[in-house]
Structure 1
Amino acid sequence: MSTDDVYALMARSQELPYGEAKTVLVEDALRRAEATGDDVLAFHVRVRLTDAYRYGGEPVKAFATFSRSLADHDRDPGRYDETHGLLWQMKAIVSSLTLFPEIPLDKTYTVLDDMERRYKAGGHSLQAVYHYRNVVARHVGDGSADEWYAKWRAAERDELSDCEGCDPTGMARHLVEAGRHEEAFEIAAPVLNATLTCNEQPQSIQTAMLPVYLRTGRAEQAADAHRRAYRVHRARLADLSDVAEHLEFCAITGNEARGLEIVQRHLGWLDRAPSVHAEMEFCAAAALVLGRIAAAGHGEATVRRPAADGRPAADVPLPDLRTELAERATELAGRFDARNETSHQGDKVRAVLEAEPAAEFVPLAAHHRRPAQAPAPPRPVADEDGDLAAEDDLDTLLDIADQRRTRRDMPRTLAAWRRFDVLAETAEPTPLQKARRLDGKGVEHAVADEREAAAECWEETYRLFSELGDETRRHRALGRLGAMHARLGDPRGLDEMIAAAGHFTSNPTGEGDATGSLLRLATAYVELDRPADALATLDRVDPDDDPDSAGELWFLRGQALLMSADADGAVAALRRSADAARASDDPEQAAPPVLLLARTLARLPSGPDDEVITLIDEGLAALSGPSPMRAAAHSERGLALLALERPADAAADLAEAIAGWTAEGLHEQAIHLRVDLAAAYLSAGRHLEAAETAEEALAGLTAPGDGEAERRCRLILAHAQKELGEEDAAASFTSLAQDAAREGRHDAVAHFLNEAADVLTSLDLDGQAAERYAEAAEAYEKAGDPYGVVRTRRRRAMSLLWTGDADAAVTVADAARTALAGLPPDNEPARVWETALVSYDQARILAQVGRLPEAASAASAAVDGFTALDETAPAEEAARLRDDITAAMER
């Protein structure tokens, strides 16, 4: 074994986040360090292993490594000199000791006393000591917590105090437990928007503030803190306790579905919980979520429990799992209370299991909220018929109902029928009156979308009018019956409507029956995708028979022309329909033609324009409340604004549309629209919302025809993750590259691998970046892109340099220079630019390996290249590099 192996392993571990993979590397490094016999090297690796255990979710293992490191230091402080690091780790050891009920509480107090002694001996402030005495006091429910908090606040901070994010986090947690929420907000406010670089921040303070926000009326801030913090916690086993807090938040804010997703995602972590206390907290919070879901009527659901320790994966009934988790939390709390000789942990668990909603539904994103209720447009008051309560004539009431039988006047129509029904209890209606009233009952069923019941009424109505010899009413009933049969898929429907239309065109009534029957038939043809028959039927309409139907006639013609691929004719027809609707006394009639016209114009080759937005604005203003049409209008306006490169405006409409579709139970439309919303958020620079929305959409894009939308969504997610600085972005781009490789799209493979490498470079994961750049260079070669080959080889060389492998960097830089020969000769500026970049980076690499004359020559070439292109800033930077190398040569 050599020390070089140890340093190499430690260097590799630095590129990994805290977790099992990093811990395994550091453990291997420790074994190798011990094998070399270099005790000092082993000591320093062991100190780093303590951090790996703590942040990687195995704090119980940190006790042994910390104790050994502290003992080595105490035996020979001069040789094992890492005093500051050990005193810093001591804080976490104190906190961790409370998390395992099998560790006597006296042990914790002993370490606390030793910590205080060491801090005093080193001349340090006792601020951190008071902090952790407060932590222990709060854990056991000791009233001295307030005293320690006061001393903690009053003591001077020093280099051993927790960071500027963690210190206020601990204070906020104390104040929350004391019910002092406004004070907690004041403590945390100064750092909430600060840039915090600690491994535990800002997610820890955001999590601690959840109850503060909820109980001080800051619901939107609570939702934002949940989304931002949980996004970090969800990847860290060590944060299981924090995940439990987010579960409780979801349960008490009406977000049980989100809570169930979190339970499902982390349930397997219980088998390797970082501590007994974290296991207890997760079990209690998960049980609360499951209880809420059962209370909402979903107790028959199951939860997938992953396989572990020889136990196969299985679907567990929700009530059974809820009971199991609640009992486990209670049993663990009992163990803590027995150790602590208080009831505090049990009280906390019971409070979680019995927690009541802290607020009404708190939407976690704009599209999660309920759709907005638009104010109803003013309606004309129809009072010319007088007071229906004073009307005693049955025929008059039926006439009023027939006259008012429109969507706009349905309340008055129903009122007339209700009055008729009251009178009919004492006055026997005539057979004709009974038939007319039965006809009305069919209308009532149709309005309620009770189709079979409506058809039954009209079948009986048709028979009664036939017996009475009333041909006009008989054929009116036949037309309505035919339309309902058509909607029910009954083939008789079309023939019935044709017969009714034929009767009224041959026997006009002067009351618009011919027009009504033809429009009804044309509507059926449109719904059956028979535009030619619809247009032929509309051609039979006499415009003088019912002038008030002009808007509907032109609307149907516009629909049929669209189906016939006659966009120009459709636009003209829809414009006439909109004009006719605007002239009517019912503003809502304008909504369908106006919105369809907007949709049609938006899909012309020229794309949407300002007129499209104006038309949708008009259509939305005409609608009186949530409906599928309103959701469609917001969808259309959002997509139009997105196409017009107004993503911030588009996001508001798309969010409203998703809320509307969801409220209507039309989840497929909502799922696909989430992809567009994610795109809008990404373009608007709202990267967290883009990532969250894209992940929601991906969960639902599982249908066979969703492939293209799914790929687009993954690309949006990858870019959002990149902008958020998340390492997952590299994996997302790599996955997209793998898909492109299966399809033989080498240019896309190269692009995505290059994106992945750039992400890794930005995160200082240079070894991994070098691998991705190498793969990207190969893909660029296959794609026939010589510029891509040069760029990725050059960037790979620099990545290798930053990993410390300068020799490999020299080789790859030479390969980048060789690739310059492949650049096309017809673009001299591009050739000069790429050559100058290669020369500049090659100079940096050669200088690192001591080949200074060659490095100086390469730097001079870079200066010449940048200067030739009038690139002043790069030329000056290259000149400084050349001068530094020359100075080094002269020393």
Structure 2
Amino acid sequence: MPTAPHPQNTDELFKALQENDARPYGRTRTVTAEELVDAAEQFEEPVVLVHALLELQEAYTYGSEPRKSPVVFARLLTLFDEQPDLFDERLRHMLFWRFKWVAHALRQLPEIPLASLRQWLTEMRDRYERADLDLQPYYGQAYQLAAHVGEDTDLAYELWAGRTRTRLSDCEACEICQRARYHLRAGDDERALRAWEPVLAGKESCQEEPARSASYALLPLLRTGRTDRARELHLAGYRACRRNPSMSEEVGRHLEFCALTGNEARGLELLAENRNLFDEVDSPLDLIGFLTGVEVLLQRVEHLGHGELPAAGYAGRTWTVAGLRAEVRGRAENLAARFDARNGTTAQSDGRTARLDRAPLLETLELTLRTRGLDDVAPAAQVAAPAAGTAAAVPDPLPELILRARDLDRQGHPNAQACWARLRTLVAAGDYTHPDDPAVGPLGQLRADLLAEEASRAGEKDEFADCAARHEEAAALYEEAGEPGHAALCRGSALFAAARIPTQDGDGAEAKAAALTAAHASLVRLHEETPGLAPYQEARLLRLRATVLGLRLQTSRNDEHIAPVLAEVDLLHTFATRHDIGTQISGALLLRSSTYALSGDLPAAVTEIDALLDRLKAHGPAWHLPRTLGLRGRLHFGLRDAQTAYDNLTEALQQAADWPADAISTARLHGDLAEACMHLRRPDEALPHLTRSAELDLRRGSRTEAFCTYSNAAQLTLDLGRIEDCIALLDSLLAEPDVTAGEVDDRLVAQLRLTRARALQAGEDPKAATAEFVALAAESAGWDDDPGSHAMIAAETAVLLGESGEFDRAREAADQALAAHARAPRYQQLSNCLRELARLQAQQQGPDGLADALALLADAGRIADEARAAEYESRGRSLDTALAYEHGRVNAFAGEYEDALAALEKALALLGEPGQGDDHADEWAECIRLAGAVEGLYLERPAPALTRLDAAITRLTALGHTAETKPLTSLAARLRDEE
């Protein structure tokens, strides 16, 4: 199937070639290039065919199809020999440049004999000599062949590196990479890194650089102790080569880097992102590099005992790490053997062995903000082992284990979870035999225990329907086992969970409060109708009753609901004190403090929480300290005492570290501590707490909450200028299986993508940023319930399109934004968009763009009128002032200097002169500067311009705004020099 309309004439063909040249390398570009060669052959102008063949060879070369590139070049060479006049200076240069492409392609193919490679180099040398061209490019290819074969490398290097560069030499960045790799092969890391510095610092670059150099520099940077630099290059370099068949070897080196720095989990994530390379890389030599990197990673994962983890591999079957490693090893060894047989050396096999024999260079290196280990990517069905320090809580004898689990559960002790996890594994085994012990009870009772514990964990994940169902099932089993007290507790918990199940269309606060009121009444009846409860069971029912009313108060915020909560809390506290049930005494005091907080009496809440902390430190239970300190931190945060909140939350996390990680949830503690850090102006310290909070929520199944927190973390990362960290974090999140499967809320995913697009823009990747913005603008156009977000996205898209000079598409996006703004006003964002777009068009097109720029400013004027009528107050300068200033700039760019000066005069009048401590002094000074430049330089009226500038300098100096005077003083000096 053709990918584009068939060109009807040469003009259409050249346009199609130009459009194809803008496409990314890959099958679409290559297939289109093949079709355009077929089309070019139909025309009588052979020069058209030359251009089409050049485009096709480029597509094959950078699309990793080395077998086809020499064939196309042979046709070009024939055309050159037969009709040299077809080739002007530019085409001739391109032809001789591409001798190197063919040499490179032939090296990639083990079926091409070594004699043929040498013969091609001889052909290249002869052609260059006949054309009176310097031979440095020939010697460069001769060195690369020597390095590939592994013989006579030093001599070949000297013959190449000692020669002066020519117009046909590889670009400076590529040659630097070759020199550095020569020193790397010699074992001189420091010299290699010194050679690489201009490329790695961004001073020299090309299409594949610095990404290629970065991949080779990673390990020498680690070996020389430059870990931070290695981390930076990994993030930026990987993004530049991921999923790209022509840079598959570089991807393999990034996988190897992950394996050697304790980032095996990230390596598996990147492998999944690049699974297309298993089938799309047509270059055998590149494939060796990729597969060897994959094997290094898989070998490391298997060595760490995770050979059964799933791994992304060849299409058509499901792979484990161990299975894929065996497959990859066989294919890579075969390829290396074929190259060694062709070359008559063992260079390729030796290179593989050296990489596979490398020991890890670092035990751990934090590469991304989302640090995960192999345990985190293991299937969820695997039960985590008990945390360090808790093994003693899991007895070996089965009867003792069951009794211990129940005793710990009665206390609410965190170590109960480890006992239940062990019991769940034992009971699920096919050979399980239940103890015949009256103290243990029947198997049905143990199954009820396990169901009740599973129900509680479901409730912690807000899976209320599942929680209620499991509690009901457990209650029935308890009844059968003769445990009515336990049955009542499960039914009470089921009532509580059922009242919290959201309806499909969402409940209002009033309906939710009514459901909780009904649940409380049912709990009271259940309590009253269940005789013979043990004290700890009765205390739990009382705790449920108080908790239901506390949640009702939190939902309704109705002052009439305060007293009932406190009354239930008093009942619980009195009962627990009478029976000395420490866990429930603590729970009652915690509920009382929370109730005071919900009622708005923060000082009373703090008094209660302080009393509870004193009690916990004196009498326990110690595992309540993290939660209590967390609440105390939030209370002080409400009292605007961020430092005390920070101290409490930090102590809470320290206390939580003493207990099993899965037993005490710390996700909220990390989130609250991040907020405290932000208020204390410590954003760098806040960031790891945000990401930790998100990852903990993700692990416990609260995925929406986790993605929201991660979204905030990504935005903070972007605000901190850590662009590559931001992009890497978002790439990881967007690759999550439920995200790619469309199971996560589309607006939340759009927010992640929007932040990523902004990061790409900030990272000076406008092409990728624009593509993402355009896609988001198209998707958000269908958000009928949220036109304001579409207006914002379309406005940002318009500006990006304008920056790339696509003003027709930019105008279309701006019109979309205006239409959405009419439904949900976004005054400042739309004004900013239209003004910026007008500036860009006038700046890039000059007088030719003035009419369109003024039309945009007219739209911005209507936005300002609407905002004024709506009494909207903009942030910073007024929309009218900003519009007048932009009229000045636009007219200046278009050469309409009188109109520009009049607009700037209006802007100055709207701004007003600055005063002492005025926050718009910089804007006023910039407006003065531009007016002075227009008047003095372009209208050639230096005298009034100098009068304006001198007066402004005097005023700003008197007000202490000395920094703002510098550009004015510089302009005034220039005007005086030109008088």
Same-fold call, TM cutoff 0.5:
yes
Note if 1:755 corresponds to 2:801: no
1:163-190: CA deviations, max 9, x gaps? 4432332233333344443443343245
Aligned to 2:348: 345
Unaligned runs of 5+ in 2: 1-7, 375-386, 428-433, 442-448, 457-469, 490-533, 552-564, 870-876, 909-926, 941-979
Distance 2:36 2:685 in 1: 54
Aligned to 1:329: 332
Aligned to 1:390: none
Distance 2:743 2:86 in 1: 67
Aligned to 1:397: none
- Distance 1:322-1:738 versus aligned 2 partners, 3 A rule: same
Q: 1:872 aligns with which of 905, 912, 928?
A: 928
Note if 1:675 corresponds to 2:711: yes
Unaligned runs of 5+ in 1: 307-312, 372-406, 422-434, 464-479, 500-513, 846-855, 885-891
Note if 1:578 corresponds to 2:578: no
- Distance 1:157-1:364 versus aligned 2 partners, 3 A rule: same
Distance 1:73 1:538 in 2: 96
What displacement does 1:535 show? 0.8
1:525-548: CA deviations, max 9, x gaps? 677887848613344169799799
Distance 1:6 1:794 in 2: 38
1:577-596: CA deviations, max 9, x gaps? 23444667999874432112
Note if 1:108 corresponds to 2:148: no
Note if 1:173 corresponds to 2:173: no
What displacement does 1:766 show? 6.2
1:357-412: CA deviations, max 9, x gaps? 454344422441679xxxxxxxxxxxxxxxxxxxxxxxxxxxxxxxxxxx9x999x
Contact 1:797 1:813 in 2 (8 A): yes
Partner-residue secondary structure (3-state), 1:102:
coil
- Distance 1:556-1:70 versus aligned 2 partners, 3 A rule: same
Note if 1:364 corresponds to 2:380: no
Which amino acid in the other structure matches residue 561 of structure 1? Answer: T
* Structure 1 stretch displaced more, 362-371 or 184-193: 362-371
Contact 1:204 1:229 in 2 (8 A): yes
Aligned to 1:651: 687
Contact 2:884 2:906 in 1 (8 A): no
What displacement does 1:651 show? 0.9
Note if 1:733 corresponds to 2:773: yes
- Distance 1:190-1:521 versus aligned 2 partners, 3 A rule: same
Note if 1:535 corresponds to 2:589: no
Which amino acid in the other structure matches residue 793 of structure 2? Answer: F
Aligned to 1:504: none
Contact 1:333 1:346 in 2 (8 A): yes
What displacement does 1:453 show? 7.4
Percent of aligned pairs sharing the same letter: 24
Partner-residue secondary structure (3-state), 1:540:
helix
* Structure 1 stretch displaced more, 255-264 or 773-782: 773-782
Distance 1:876 1:26 in 2: 54
Which amino acid in the other structure matches residue 103 of structure 1? Answer: I
Distance 2:817 2:834 in 1: 9
What displacement does 1:206 show? 0.9
Contact 2:642 2:679 in 1 (8 A): no
Aligned to 1:226: 234
Note if 1:723 corresponds to 2:757: no
Aligned to 2:209: 201
Note if 1:594 corresponds to 2:629: yes
1:282-330: CA deviations, max 9, x gaps? 3444355455555634437464755xxxxxx654566555444433333
What displacement does 1:686 show? 0.9
- Distance 1:175-1:665 versus aligned 2 partners, 3 A rule: farther
Which amino acid in the other structure matches residue 242 of structure 2? Answer: R
Note if 1:697 corresponds to 2:730: no
What displacement does 1:650 show? 0.8
* Structure 1 stretch displaced more, 820-829 or 54-63: 820-829
- Distance 1:527-1:158 versus aligned 2 partners, 3 A rule: farther
Aligned to 2:646: 613
Note if 1:97 corresponds to 2:133: no
What displacement does 1:729 show? 2.4
* Structure 1 stretch displaced more, 158-167 or 351-360: 351-360
Distance 2:764 2:779 in 1: 23
Partner-residue secondary structure (3-state), 2:235:
helix
Aligned to 1:860: 898
Partner-residue secondary structure (3-state), 2:88:
coil
1:649-704: CA deviations, max 9, x gaps? 21132345567778999988765543332222122111211121123233446596
Q: 1:238 aligns with which of 241, 246, 263?
A: 246
What displacement does 1:637 show? 0.7
1:766-794: CA deviations, max 9, x gaps? 67656544544554566677987787678
- Distance 1:819-1:536 versus aligned 2 partners, 3 A rule: closer
Partner-residue secondary structure (3-state), 1:137:
helix
Distance 2:629 2:89 in 1: 78
Distance 2:435 2:571 in 1: 27
Distance 2:697 2:878 in 1: 53
Distance 1:781 1:521 in 2: 55
What displacement does 1:36 show? 6.2
Distance 1:802 1:62 in 2: 42
Which amino acid in the other structure matches residue 98 of structure 1? Answer: R
Distance 1:220 1:562 in 2: 48
Bigger CA radius of gyration? 1
Matches within 5 A, 1:382-401: none
1:733-789: CA deviations, max 9, x gaps? 334334432222333223212222333444566676565445445545666779877
Contact 1:6 1:29 in 2 (8 A): yes
Distance 1:358 1:261 in 2: 20
Distance 2:38 2:111 in 1: 29
CA RMSD across the alignment: 5.4
Distance 2:423 2:256 in 1: 47
By relative contact order (CA 8 Å, sep 6+), the higher-ranking structure is: 1
Distance 2:371 2:222 in 1: 18
Distance 2:236 2:783 in 1: 36
Distance 2:220 2:835 in 1: 51
Matches within 5 A, 1:750-829: 750-763=791-804, 769=810, 772-773=813-814, 775-776=816-817, 779-780=820-821, 812-813=852-853, 815-816=855-856, 819=859, 822=862, 825=865
What displacement does 1:232 show? 1.1
Matches within 5 A, 1:172-321: 172-189=180-197, 191-290=199-298, 292-293=300-301, 296-299=305-308, 301=310, 303=312, 306=315, 315=318, 321=324
Which amino acid in the other structure matches residue 734 of structure 1? Answer: V
Distance 1:526 1:672 in 2: 31
Contact 1:730 1:756 in 2 (8 A): yes
Q: 1:63 aligns with which of 58, 70, 87?
A: 70
Contact 2:814 2:834 in 1 (8 A): yes
Number of equivalent positions: 781
Q: 1:138 aligns with which of 123, 126, 147?
A: 147
Distance 1:662 1:65 in 2: 52
1:28-87: CA deviations, max 9, x gaps? 776777766555566466545544443343444443454555566676479521355444
What displacement does 1:623 show? 4.8
Matches within 5 A, 1:536-551: 536-540=570-574
Which amino acid in the other structure matches residue 198 of structure 1? Answer: C
Which amino acid in the other structure matches residue 111 of structure 2? Answer: E
Aligned to 1:386: none
Distance 2:827 2:649 in 1: 48
Contact 1:254 1:360 in 2 (8 A): yes
- Distance 1:608-1:779 versus aligned 2 partners, 3 A rule: farther
Contact 2:674 2:687 in 1 (8 A): yes
Partner-residue secondary structure (3-state), 1:731:
helix
1:805-850: CA deviations, max 9, x gaps? 998x6774575476477455558974575477468657867xxxxx
Distance 1:410 1:23 in 2: 60
Matches within 5 A, 1:368-383: 368=371
